[in-house]
Structure 1
Amino acid sequence: MILIVLKAQIRPDKREEWLSGISQYKKDVNSEPGNISFDYHENVEKENEFVVVEVFRDSAAGDAHVKTDHAQRFFDFMGSVVPEKPLINFQSEDGKDAWVEMGEVTPH
């Protein structure tokens, strides 16, 4: 099983666009055969900070996810609504984990 947690601050002027985009992305990811769950939540203490929690069957499913068209489109979309790189914490079978900047998303 692969657990991925993203933390992203969303620009206030892009909030509604984000909510629409992440809702569609949740549907897309949930349709992947290797996806176990996909959820997102807003931090109740910090407005416009969202956490995304993704769980995949195994590393092959996680790798396949990143290569999907909808993931590639979402990474570009996400870059348009964030003021800084989101943080990602990826935990896999080997037990390694760390918060690092998400390389797939570049703010623009």
Structure 2
Amino acid sequence: MIFITVKFHVRAEYADKWLDLVDDFTRATRAEPGNLFFEWSRSVDNPHEFVLVEAFRDSEAGKAHVEAEHFKAGTEAMSYAVAETPRIVSTEIPEMDGWGAMGEVTPKTA
């Protein structure tokens, strides 16, 4: 699995429009055959920062994502709204195909 996290610092005037701006890109990416998940969150500490957590089945799926037309269109649209170059962590996690269970926290009854 290719696991990627990206932090986007968005210009103030785009902060409340960001999710609408990236909606077509998000929908198209989620529809890619090798996409495992593609999820946006807004920082609780900085209202101008959005965090993208995404994963692809393998490097081939990740490469197809970056070569897709919707990727090119999405990154072009984002370039006008970001305040700085996004920061990224990208790594391959062998033998995983999505989210695993966290063993340290389990549901309990009162």
- TM-score bucket of the superposed structures, by smaller chain: 0.7 to 0.9
Q: Unaligned regions of 5+ residues in structure 2, if any?
A: 95-110
Aligned length: 94
Summarize deviations over 1:6-56 as a string: whole Å, max 9, x none. Answer: 001111111243221222221110100000100000000111101001110
Written as runs of structure 1 = structure 2, the 5 A alignment for 1:61-76 is 61-76=61-76
Counterpart in the other structure of 2:39: 39
Q: Where does structure 1 differ by over 6 angstroms across 4 or more consecutive aligned residues?
A: none
Q: Which has the higher contact order (CA 8 A, sep 6+)?
A: 2
How high is the sequence identity, in percent, across the aligned residues? 35
* TM value normalised by structure 1: 0.81
Answer with 1 or 2: which has the greater Rg.
Answer: 2
Instruction: Report the more deviating stretch, 13-22 or 47-56.
Output: 13-22
Q: Aligned-pair RMSD on alpha carbons?
A: 1.3
Q: Unaligned regions of 5+ residues in structure 1, if any?
A: 95-108
